[in-house]
Structure 1
Amino acid sequence: MRTIDGPAAAVLDVGSFSARLVVLEPGGSPIDPALTHQTRLRLDRELDDDGRLSKCGIAAIAKAVANGMEFAREHGVKDVFPLATSSIRDAVNSKEAVREVARETGVELRFLSGRREAELTYVGARRWYGASGGPLLALDIGGGTVELSAGAGEQATFARSLPLGARSVTRDWLPAEPPVRSKQVRALRDHVLEEVSAALGDVKDELAEHRVVGCSKVLRQLARLAGDRPGRARELHLDDVRAWIPRLSAMPFARRAQLPGISRQRAQQALGGAVVAEALLTVAGGKMTICPWSTRDGLLLTLLDQLTDATGKQRSRPAA
């Protein structure tokens, strides 16, 4: 059993579908982490129509956190950043959930603001492409929110968050079961495009020469659906996303889950994610490159930067 003997950066990322622990040692990379551990979750099934987490959902979170922290301790990891994503942060009873998890495990889950998530998404993208990648516009469709960030250096100079995540728009705008009527899709399209246009409108000209990169599982799955293959440089194009929207609207969830790139867990929100991606591509120029790194990776790399060097000097801004 591998043991971490020295300092390390560790994040326990608790989201809708899993609680994933990732550990990096100095000099390491998210491509090849020192340790990983994952406990599956289905918090999408534990949120009621009012956005309240059920008691079973909170208990599942506590168990997943306990599993991840026990694994970390067994392998010598001393400090873990317990990150709760928007599925918990935006729940009506999020304070209750955090309190109960802390009571059961001794771990107090931490939240990042949407803006900070956007900034960390940019850090992940910038580290992936490096300085030679040029100015970047990083787009991340999560479950609860969409993060937009841009810059030309190591840190973002523009960062915004919108409540347009794939889970959120599915819950708020689409019926519980397909088929989805065209007027329902049209209403969602109009709403999302208006929100994205407003968020980027005042900086659109400044971002015109930026490389547009997509940094989320939703966008990776859409790129796979549109025909790109693993192992190749992936791109997502507006025309491809637009062509899939009416097809996804007509499909039951079980059929969506059989499509390339669409996982069973995310089949229900695939249409909502596609509509949000369409709006982002419409405003951002019609094409994006898929980036493997996102918020968690940006957080890990920031924490790694904060590990003191031989002189004890910290080299980066705080992670949260």
Structure 2
Amino acid sequence: MGVLDVGSFSARLVVVPVAGSPREPVLNHQTRLRLDRELDDRGRLTDRGVAAVTTAVAAGMSTAYRHGVHGVYPLATSSIRDAANSADVVRHVAGETGVELRFLSGPAEAGLAYLAARRWYGANAGPLLVLDIGGGTVELAAGCGERATFARSLPLGARSMTRDWLPSERVSTKQVKALRTHALDVVTTTLGAAGVDDPRVVGCSKVLQQLARLAGARPGKCRELRLDDLRAWIPRLAALPPSKRAELPGISRSRAHQALAGAIVAEALLTVAGGKVAICPWSTRDGLLLTLQDKAKAAAADRAA
């Protein structure tokens, strides 16, 4: 079974056996995308963007079929889900490839990120608060057991905040301050309802991974991002155009333009959540794979009964 995860920067196919682990996929295929460049002024995905998605879906699914894999969940994330013409995109892709992209709500994605973090850290890890900064939205989830008891989606994604608050390559101190205030207000109001005491705070996103690397974490090691380290980088990111940010440790060229907005949103989250976050290598896609595995195992047990 597998997931084809279609996001802003790639369409990635990951396949695992029913009894296997997302840590050890048997098939991994990626097609690069730049959907962040393909939204017009009306919030619609351009014809070029739709064509790129179609090509990427066709490539991912044909790879799966060549390897005899047919149970693939075609997940489209917020870059397509929140586009003004998302229904048209789904129809076009289905017409060209026979694959109907599927959406999950923001809270559902948050719940899957929580499940991934819970399985990664284990049942004995205690209460968890999971943070996932995406391009369009931020997902938050918390709980004490296997499933989240709190799940929210906020319109604070790094791509969206860049477009709405920091649209030019050169940003002013006033713009940075305004976004900081906005993000902190939204996060404070939302996390006040999480309802878990003294949780382990876990980050499940590429944005947080790259910021941890920027702030000094070693690549490939157990990473942690601390508020003081992150806060020191915000004025430095603000002073640099995206081309120069891409030269910094951990910041990829494709995400450099939204690194500042991502850092500001992360600052708000860490300010409210306690000042540090552990970086988990699993995220929503892995949570979905784990859920599909659980369902397949349950179905097999029912047949055997």
Q: 2:184 aligns with which of 193, 198, 217?
A: 193
Partner of 1:215: 204
Structure 1 stretches of 4+ with a deviation exceeding 4 A read none
Partner of 1:292: 281
Which secondary structure state, in structure 2, belongs to the residue aligned with residue 229 of structure 1?
coil
Q: State the alpha-carbon separation in 1 of the partners of residues 260 and 279 from structure 2.
A: 19
Q: State the alpha-carbon separation in 1 of the partners of residues 248 and 70 from structure 2.
A: 41
Q: 1:264 aligns with which of 243, 249, 253?
A: 253
Q: Is the 8 A contact 2:225 2:279 kept in 1?
A: yes
Q: Does 1:58 align with 2:50?
A: yes
Q: Does 1:303 align with 2:295?
A: no
Post-superposition CA distance 1:18-59 (Å, at most 9, x none): 100000102211111011111111111111232211001001
Which secondary structure state, in structure 2, belongs to the residue aligned with residue 147 of structure 1?
strand
Q: Which runs of 5+ in 2 are unaligned?
A: none
Partner of 1:155: 147
Partner of 1:273: 262
Q: 2:175 aligns with which of 159, 184, 187?
A: 184
Q: Does 1:29 align with 2:18?
A: no
In the comparison of the two structures, how many residue pairs are matched?
303
Partner of 1:312: 302
Q: Which runs of 5+ in 1 are unaligned?
A: 1-8, 315-320
Structure (1 or 2) with the greater helix fraction? 2
Q: Does 1:19 align with 2:5?
A: no
**Shift in Å at residue 134 of structure 1?**
1.2
Q: Is the 8 A contact 2:223 2:278 kept in 1?
A: yes
Partner of 2:81: 89
Q: State the alpha-carbon separation in 1 of the partners of residues 237 and 228 from structure 2.
A: 15
Which secondary structure state, in structure 1, belongs to the residue aligned with residue 4 of structure 2?
strand
Q: State the alpha-carbon separation in 2 of the partners of residues 176 and 19 from structure 1.
A: 27
Partner of 1:244: 233
Q: State the alpha-carbon separation in 2 of the partners of residues 235 and 103 from structure 1.
A: 44
Q: State the alpha-carbon separation in 1 of the partners of residues 111 and 272 from structure 2.
A: 20
**Shift in Å at residue 313 of structure 1?**
6.0
Which secondary structure state, in structure 2, belongs to the residue aligned with residue 307 of structure 1?
helix
**Shift in Å at residue 200 of structure 1?**
1.0
Q: State the alpha-carbon separation in 2 of the partners of residues 136 and 244 from structure 1.
A: 27
Query: In the alignment, residue 81 of structure 1 is paired with which amino acid?
Result: Y
User: Which has the larger displacement, 42-51 or 183-192?
Assistant: 42-51
Query: In the alignment, residue 108 of structure 1 is paired with which amino acid?
Result: E
**Shift in Å at residue 231 of structure 1?**
3.3
Query: In the alignment, residue 168 of structure 2 is paired with which amino acid?
Result: A
TM-score by length of 2: 0.97
- Report the aligned-residue RMSD: 1.2
